[in-house]
Amino acid sequence: MQEASEPLRHSLSRLHTWVGLVLGGVLFAIFWMGTLSVFDREIDRWMMPPTRLAPAPVVSLDAAARAVAAMAPGAAQWSMTLPSARTPTLQVRLPGGADGSVLHHLDPVTFAELHPAPTRGGTGFIFPFHFMLHIDWLDLGLWIVGLCGMAMLLLTVSGVVIHKRIFRDFFMFRPGKASTRSLLDLHTGMGVLALPFHVVMPLSGLIIFFSLFFPGTWQAAFDGERAAFNREVFGSYQRPKANAPAELGSLDAMAREAERLWQGGKPFLVRVTNAGDAASVVEVRRSHTQDVSMNRDAVYFDAGTGAVLQRFESKPIGALQRFIAGIHFVQFEQWLLRWLYFAAGLAGCVMIATGFWFWLESRRAEHAREGRVGVRLVEALATGSVTGIIVATLAFLIANRCLPADSHAFGLDRERLEMLAFYAVWLLTFGHAGLRQRAAWREQNAVIAPLAVVAVALNWLTTGDYPWRAWGRGVVSVAAMDGVILLLGAVAAVVARRWLARAAVARPRALGLARAVPSSGEG
Amino acid sequence: MRAFRVIFRVTLALGGGYAAAAVWSAALALWLRDSLGRAEATVLAAMLAFILFLLALLWITTTPRLARASIVALSVTLVGVGLSRWLSAGAWPTLAALGVGG
């Protein structure tokens, strides 16, 4: 049995190493952005100061509809997302812009439009980066992330099999031992600590996009009819225009009827299609803030009469898919679990980073002796991927607080300039890592610490919201954001200092070794 | 030669593993659609496809003999294609026809 399992373990070990090396950088980016996405709406509050409102009471939908009609008379389609504990504004989406629609934030009490400086924020930049890397072309970003999701599953399974004593090793962290030993301990510890998370997150992320990754399945079952698939699986409903004018009925009454049908479930989104037409439809979607499942429950009303046209609820297997999606999206309002997700995400980041470091440290001497470029290449990519993306994220936040509201440069508007700051700094960190090699880890950590302080200070200077003031006026999300950024800076400072100390010890040792070993010329 | 074998194995694992999972998922959806309904059958079969793909990836990347991996991957895919075609023509007794489920 032992003999039979050794070749398998050896094969899986090679697989673990190579998949980790090739895709580790992208995986870290996905994990980092996914971890931040747990608090994407809180990041929105930080990046959009005018939306930092205290939680507001439920709005009157009819009054909101009148405000929307005043903002965009004649809009054929519009939707509004109701305020929640995490997003205190009334978010109205109207036709327009390059993407086909523009998001407006309204005060849920006065319906006055709020005007945050243009930014994609957490929900528009960080969250999409997590699942599609902002590569739209042919859905390539989604496919790359899907590939990384499968890779993560492979890495987790192979990682469990190749560690003979994985659970015993979990309780062994030997920071005083050789650096490779302690790095492997940390890698194993973080992997085991959040093992269910490392399995569930990639699998649930893949299952969310099942129709994209396995289109042949629905095409076979639905004979290629996309509209029928959308209607039966996702509950979409459409009807042709009547080309006769009609008034919008009471949205409040429709919301009440939906609540009655859902036996107390609350609506969170109202969408009006073919507005002003006699065949206009109002879609009311059920909130999932109180459930793990991200249900697709919706009621479709005739916009004029308020009569129910269709009610959709997922069947058992569809509901299971929505439950799995809900585990991944973490949209339920449960703060302890949200922080645990955040911690597990960070554990994943540490696991990937220590995997890189273990590989580098265990091969550094050998590659240097043999003149191989492997360590140099991997070190540059790993440094840029790990510390580089953290530096870039801070640059993104700082750009948000520095750029004037009407900024335009290089043909880019403000929100794209923020993104440019992110990508330009990220690219620079790769260049820096290529030049400075091992020292780049320490230097980029040393940069993270002051950048974190600058980001928090800029938030204070530009909005007046220093952490305890934000906390005091009920904007806990901003205070927590500041706290996490400062903590990140402190951890980076400690890591940089430890690296500096280690380098200071290593240098005389290396010099001593060089003197002890005679050069080839002397020998 | 070694590089070629590695590239071939990776391509086989990704392409062959994906193809096998995709056709068997389609076949499963076709087999179940009369008993579960096509929406439920699609979602179930597509979710299971990820597990099939993962198992295929693990097996193809770890099996010692590349020729064996190639033959098995090709055979499994071709059987899945044949089964899908047969099921789409209504030639296979579905669960409903066997008196199970809907």
- b/e map A284-321, b = 16+ CB within 10 Å: bbbbbeebbbbbbbbbbbbbbebeebebbebeebbbbb
Work out the minimum CA distance from B93 to partner chain A, whole angstroms.
16
User: Are B43 and A12 an interchain contact pair (Cβ–Cβ within 8 Å)?
Assistant: no
CB atoms under 10 Å from CB of A272, counted, come to 22
User: Are B23 and A324 an interchain contact pair (Cβ–Cβ within 8 Å)?
Assistant: no
pLDDT score of A281: 97
Helices A40-47, A2-37: inter-axial angle, 10-degree rounding: 30
Q: Which residue of A has its CA nearest to B32?
A: A221
Chain A within 8 Å of B9 (Cβ-Cβ)? Answer: no
Work out the minimum CA distance from A196 to partner chain B, whole angstroms.
16
Mutate to test the interface with A, among B50, B65, B95 (most CBs of A within 10 A): B50
Closest Cβ opposite residue A232 in set B26, B38, B46 = B38
Who contacts A123 (Cβ-Cβ below 8 Å, separation ≥6)?
A40, A41, A43, A44
- H/E run at residue A300: strand A298-302
Residue-range domain boundaries for chain B:
2-88
Work out the minimum CA distance from B32 to partner chain A, whole angstroms.
9
Q: Please name the amino acid found at residue A24.
A: G
| CB interface of A with B, residues 43-102, below 8 Å | none
Contact between B20 and B76 (Cβ < 8 Å): yes
Work out the minimum CA distance from B77 to partner chain A, whole angstroms.
13
- Residue B2 gets the label, from left (phi > 0), alpha (psi -120 to 50) or beta, of alpha
Contact between A419 and A410 (Cβ < 8 Å): no
pLDDT score of A511: 52
Chain A residue numbers with beta carbons less than 8 Å from the beta carbon of B54 are 150, 153-154, 157
pLDDT score of A171: 66
Contact between A398 and A454 (Cβ < 8 Å): yes
Chain A residue numbers with beta carbons less than 8 Å from the beta carbon of B92 are none
User: Are B62 and A15 an interchain contact pair (Cβ–Cβ within 8 Å)?
Assistant: yes
pLDDT score of A165: 74
Work out the minimum CA distance from A151 to partner chain B, whole angstroms.
9
Q: In the A/B pair of chains, how many CB contacts fall below 8 A?
A: 98
- H/E run at residue A271: strand A267-273
Q: Tokens 């319906």 — which residue?
A: A111
pLDDT score of A509: 57
User: Are B50 and A232 an interchain contact pair (Cβ–Cβ within 8 Å)?
Assistant: no
Tens of pLDDT, residue by residue, chain A (523 residues)? 344 467 888 889 999 999 999 999 999 999 999 999 999 999 999 999 999 998 776 679 999 999 999 999 889 999 999 999 899 999 999 998 877 899 999 999 999 999 999 999 999 999 999 999 999 999 999 999 999 999 999 999 999 988 877 766 666 666 666 678 888 888 988 999 999 999 999 999 999 999 999 999 999 999 999 999 999 999 999 999 999 999 999 999 999 999 999 998 999 999 999 999 999 999 999 999 989 999 999 999 999 999 999 999 999 999 999 999 999 999 998 999 999 999 999 999 999 999 999 999 999 888 888 888 889 999 999 999 999 999 999 999 999 999 999 999 999 999 999 999 999 999 999 999 999 999 999 999 999 999 999 999 999 999 999 999 999 988 999 999 999 999 999 999 999 998 877 777 666 555 554 444 443 333 2
Contact between A354 and A159 (Cβ < 8 Å): no
pLDDT score of A1: 38
User: Are B49 and A207 an interchain contact pair (Cβ–Cβ within 8 Å)?
Assistant: no
Q: Is the dihedral of CA A404, A406, A412, A416 positive or negative?
A: positive
User: Are A221 and B47 an interchain contact pair (Cβ–Cβ within 8 Å)?
Assistant: no
pLDDT score of A373: 87
Contact between A84 and A115 (Cβ < 8 Å): no
Angle (CA) A291-A293-A298 rounded to 5° is 95
Chain A within 8 Å of B71 (Cβ-Cβ)? Answer: no
User: Are B58 and A229 an interchain contact pair (Cβ–Cβ within 8 Å)?
Assistant: no
Chain A within 8 Å of B50 (Cβ-Cβ)? Answer: yes
Distance of CA A270 to the CA centre of its chain: 25
Chain B within 8 Å of A290 (Cβ-Cβ)? Answer: no
Is 80 exceeded by the pLDDT of residue B96? Answer: no
pTM of the entire structure?
0.91
Among A291, A78, A240, A307, residue whose Cα is nearest residue A299: A307
> What separation, in Å, do the N-terminal and C-terminal C-alpha atoms of chain B show?
54
User: Are A213 and B50 an interchain contact pair (Cβ–Cβ within 8 Å)?
Assistant: yes
User: Are B42 and A229 an interchain contact pair (Cβ–Cβ within 8 Å)?
Assistant: yes
Q: How far is CA A449 from CA A36, A456, A468, A481, in A?
A: 18, 11, 21, 15
Chain A residue numbers with beta carbons less than 8 Å from the beta carbon of B40 are 315-318
Closest Cβ opposite residue B47 in set A12, A219, A321 = A321
User: Are B25 and A214 an interchain contact pair (Cβ–Cβ within 8 Å)?
Assistant: yes
User: Are A206 and B50 an interchain contact pair (Cβ–Cβ within 8 Å)?
Assistant: yes
pLDDT score of A3: 41
Closest Cβ opposite residue A214 in set B41, B46, B61 = B46
Counts for chain B of helices (H) and strands (E), in that order: 4, 0
Q: Is the dihedral of CA A195, A205, A129, A331 positive or negative?
A: negative
